[in-house]
Amino acid sequence: NINISNNNNNNNTTTLVFVSCLSVLYALHVGLYADLVVRVEGGPEAVHQAWHDVRRKVLGGIPVWTAMLWAARDYYYNDSTTTCAQEGNPWPVVLVGLPFFVEQAFMLVETLVLHATQDKSHKQVRVPMNLEFTIHRLGEWVMLMLGESVLSLIIVEASPGRRYVVTFCAGMVAVTMMQYLYFRTNPLSADDHAMRRSIAGGYQFFYGLIIYSACLILMGCSFKLILHQYL
């Protein structure tokens, strides 16, 4: 009851193509960072940073490459009587979501545990980032997501009326307050920023920004749902 390349459905085909593209991307990233290890120009911190990036991408690529093999097995060898063959196997897609958590766990363990036990300063093993440019780009990222919320308020299939005006004004107040919350809590000088003051503060800001970004996306989606149901 097991065939080769005869019982493939669209779900297995799409999954294999999607996971294969991500696998190639991770392989290219590993090759890029490996090339940096060979051709790096700089002090010991640059070499250590390059090796760190190679290890991080290899660990993050393991779930993706495993998902590619799993998807290839489902594509070429499948049982037509199983649910996975009929509806598609979701586990390869779940696996490709793991690299983010694997890479972040590796970075936290290496930075907060290994370097602390080896009495190494963070500046000895990391190339400093251009924090001024980073702060500017993160501000643009926040404004972009806030703009999506504004578009959700403007682009709505409803005739202007009292309900729409009240909802639009309330939404604009919410967007303005979220914008004020982010920029008011950020220091004007890069020297006072959490990412420059300490390692722990930098990680707290990074993960806090991820949560804040998710809240902005949720707010934009909520506006669209509210306007669709309320008006």
Question: pLDDT at position 137, please?
Answer: 92
Closest by CA to 6, choosing from 68, 75, 72, 70, is 75
Note the pTM of the prediction, 2 decimals. Answer: 0.73
- The predicted-structure confidence for 32-79, as pLDDT tens digits, reads as follows 888 888 887 777 778 888 888 899 999 999 999 999 999 998 888 765
Q: Structural domain boundaries of the chain?
A: 1-120, 129-230
Mean pLDDT of 198-212: 87
Closest by CA to 19, choosing from 86, 111, 92, 73, is 92
C-beta atoms surrounding 62 within 10 Å: 14
* 24, pLDDT greater than 90: yes
Alpha helices in the chain, H assignment, sequence order: 10-39, 44-76, 83-87, 91-95, 98-109, 115-117, 122-125, 131-154, 162-185, 194-197, 199-230
Mean pLDDT of 119-144: 82
